[in-house]
A and B are shown apart, each in its own frame.
Chain A
């Protein structure tokens, strides 16, 4: 399934409404870690309606690391 944010085919069903009512389903992208519920506003969950600046167009490994991975102790 296509992720609505990074548009790669790396998303899938995460979970369903826990009370078994079928009120919603939630999906997650294993590449960019975006999650969404199928009951959210159209401009959040439809890629063509989402604000461009909140789409993810980079490669994940190019993102900045805030706490660097330290050298291993000897």
Chain B
């Protein structure tokens, strides 16, 4: 569908999902104010700013993935597609793995139209800004970061493409946050065991599906590039990096290349993180930049992240649901769909057929024992298969009419927790809170007066009424 960010921005604009702010603005605090506003609006559009003081001819794009309308358009769907339908569409595309890779000659790759290797100053080329007020510096919050395992330099599939927060600390120095469970941490550790620098490429402004896959937890030996190609429905165009053997997106707006310095840690943070709170300061790895290349008239795409919901919640929403769904479905085919969109699954709603009395609770135990669910899924809600877990009105209806507190609410104490969640104490410990809002089935005791009102065959009339509504607007 989209070879690069520019094609997607054109699609958004065509659908009224892209606006441009032409007013002269200071980078702080105005860019963050605009980012917050765009994501707060219903069906919030992407925003391009190109009149930033001191940054003549530079462009910033925010909120590119920041609404369900934009995510639907990324998937090639109508912008009004329901979230559950977007989920099923994503599931179908997921199964098309692996997609095709197309290699582009480095000299012809758009991301190499302008190359800078001497006297590097990132600030002269990229309109960097402080995202949240108490962030330590300007951060890259939406980059695709590419590394290879130094023990397997020729293995394409273990080449990692991930999104990690990065703090620009100098003209040619960037800190990177690698957490122990991140794939990149494994690469850094293998390089450090040999006291070798680790080549790294940071691609900014990519096709929207690659950005989406870079923030998806896929297995270590599966390629994010091949997933992006499968989901995008067109080959992923890659080229060789200028300074090392990495494969980089040929159509990226910017590519920063460098090396992670071995066995060095420097102060990083705080940074306003996805739970809506600031993370503290830690010692993190540091990258020395060796080159920066970019397209003519490049667009700097970054992500504003604040108190939820903001763009990151849309970006990480469906791609948290799908791997969890896949893992549940392996052993529990009764599972119908999974909404794990709340803070990366801290709250997760699963719709399932309650095959026999108490079965839905077993689904919850399975959620709590999936690789992601072990530490993330702490509040687990079960609803029936005919309840759309993405439709919170329906979920609340289930809670209101099907939960017997004495039988359907369970707390399991002192389980693993997610360290960035402020309720996890000590950091890394937590509880599991399970609410079974499915209709009890035998041999469990049944609810009184539980004969449901039938839904009439209303679907055909939805289209009729929607078309009449459109026509009424056109008059």
Which residues in A have some Cβ–Cβ distance to B below 8 Å? 5, 14-19, 21-24, 26, 28, 31-37, 39-41, 44, 51, 54, 56, 58, 60-61, 63-67, 69-73
Q: Which of A15, A56, A66 contacts B284 (CB 8 A)?
A: A66
Q: How far is the CA of A36 from the CA of B192 in the complex (A)?
A: 32
On whether A24 and B53 interact (CB within 8 A), knowing A51-B134, A67-B285, the answer reads yes
Chain A residues in 8 Å Cβ range of B55 = 17-19
Do the beta carbons of B270 and A54 come within 8 Å of each other? Answer: yes
Do the beta carbons of B285 and A14 come within 8 Å of each other? Answer: no
Q: Which of A33, A54, A66, A71 contacts B177 (CB 8 A)?
A: A66
Query: Number of B interface residues, CB 8 Å?
Result: 50
Do the beta carbons of A44 and B133 come within 8 Å of each other? Answer: yes
Q: How far is the CA of A11 from the CA of B284 in the complex (A)?
A: 20
On whether A66 and B282 interact (CB within 8 A), knowing A14-B123, A18-B123, A41-B29, the answer reads yes
Do the beta carbons of B282 and A64 come within 8 Å of each other? Answer: yes
Nearest B residue to A50 via CB reads B134
Q: Which of A5, A14, A19, A51 contacts B171 (CB 8 A)?
A: A14
A44 shortest CB reach to chain B, Å: 6
Do the beta carbons of A39 and B171 come within 8 Å of each other? Answer: no
Interface flag for B462 (CB, 8 Å)? no
Do the beta carbons of A69 and B192 come within 8 Å of each other? Answer: yes
Chain B residues in 8 Å Cβ range of A5 = 136
B287 shortest CB reach to chain A, Å: 13
Render B282-324 as a binary contact track against A, CB cut-off 8 A, 1 for contact: 1111000000000000000000000000000000000000000
Do the beta carbons of B281 and A35 come within 8 Å of each other? Answer: no
Of the listed residues A5, A32, A61, the one surrounded by the most CB atoms of chain B closer than 10 A to its CB is A32
A3 shortest CB reach to chain B, Å: 11
Do the beta carbons of B54 and A54 come within 8 Å of each other? Answer: no
On whether A65 and B283 interact (CB within 8 A), knowing A15-B123, A35-B169, A41-B28, the answer reads yes
Q: How far is the CA of A37 from the CA of B185 in the complex (A)?
A: 32
Do the beta carbons of B168 and A24 come within 8 Å of each other? Answer: no
Interface flag for B26 (CB, 8 Å)? yes
Q: Which of A23, A26, A70 contacts B189 (CB 8 A)?
A: A70
Of the listed residues A21, A51, A67, the one surrounded by the most CB atoms of chain B closer than 10 A to its CB is A67
Which residues in B have some Cβ–Cβ distance to A below 8 Å? 26-29, 53-58, 121, 123-125, 130, 133-134, 136-138, 167-171, 175, 177-180, 185, 188-189, 192-195, 263, 265-268, 270, 278, 280-285
Chain B residues in 8 Å Cβ range of A28 = 137, 169-170
Nearest B residue to A71 via CB reads B193
Chain A residues in 8 Å Cβ range of B56 = 19, 21
On whether A15 and B185 interact (CB within 8 A), knowing A37-B28, A67-B179, the answer reads no
Chain B residues in 8 Å Cβ range of A71 = 193
Do the beta carbons of B169 and A67 come within 8 Å of each other? Answer: no
Q: How far is the CA of A15 from the CA of B54 in the complex (A)?
A: 11
B311 shortest CB reach to chain A, Å: 22
A47 shortest CB reach to chain B, Å: 14
Nearest A residue to B264 via CB reads A69
On whether A33 and B123 interact (CB within 8 A), knowing A21-B53, A69-B192, the answer reads no
B290 shortest CB reach to chain A, Å: 19
Do the beta carbons of B178 and A41 come within 8 Å of each other? Answer: no
Of the listed residues B138, B170, B268, B281, the one surrounded by the most CB atoms of chain A closer than 10 A to its CB is B281
B162 shortest CB reach to chain A, Å: 14
A-B contact pairs, 26 of them (CB 8 A): A14-B171, A15-B121, A17-B55, A18-B121, A21-B53, A24-B54, A28-B170, A33-B266, A33-B267, A35-B136, A37-B130, A39-B27, A41-B28, A41-B133, A54-B278, A58-B281, A61-B283, A63-B281, A64-B283, A66-B283, A67-B179, A67-B188, A67-B284, A69-B263, A72-B193, A73-B193
Q: Which of A24, A35, A65, A72 contacts B137 (CB 8 A)?
A: A35
Nearest A residue to B57 via CB reads A19
On whether A35 and B168 interact (CB within 8 A), knowing A15-B124, A69-B265, the answer reads yes
Do the beta carbons of B134 and A39 come within 8 Å of each other? Answer: no
Do the beta carbons of A67 and B27 come within 8 Å of each other? Answer: no
Do the beta carbons of B26 and A39 come within 8 Å of each other? Answer: yes
Chain B residues in 8 Å Cβ range of A61 = 283
Do the beta carbons of A63 and B54 come within 8 Å of each other? Answer: no
B71 shortest CB reach to chain A, Å: 31
Nearest A residue to B127 via CB reads A18
Chain B residues in 8 Å Cβ range of A19 = 54-57
Do the beta carbons of B192 and A70 come within 8 Å of each other? Answer: yes
Nearest B residue to A69 via CB reads B263
Chain B residues in 8 Å Cβ range of A72 = 193-195
Chain A residues in 8 Å Cβ range of B53 = 17, 21, 23-24, 39
On whether A37 and B27 interact (CB within 8 A), knowing A14-B170, A44-B133, the answer reads yes
Chain B residues in 8 Å Cβ range of A40 = 28-29, 130
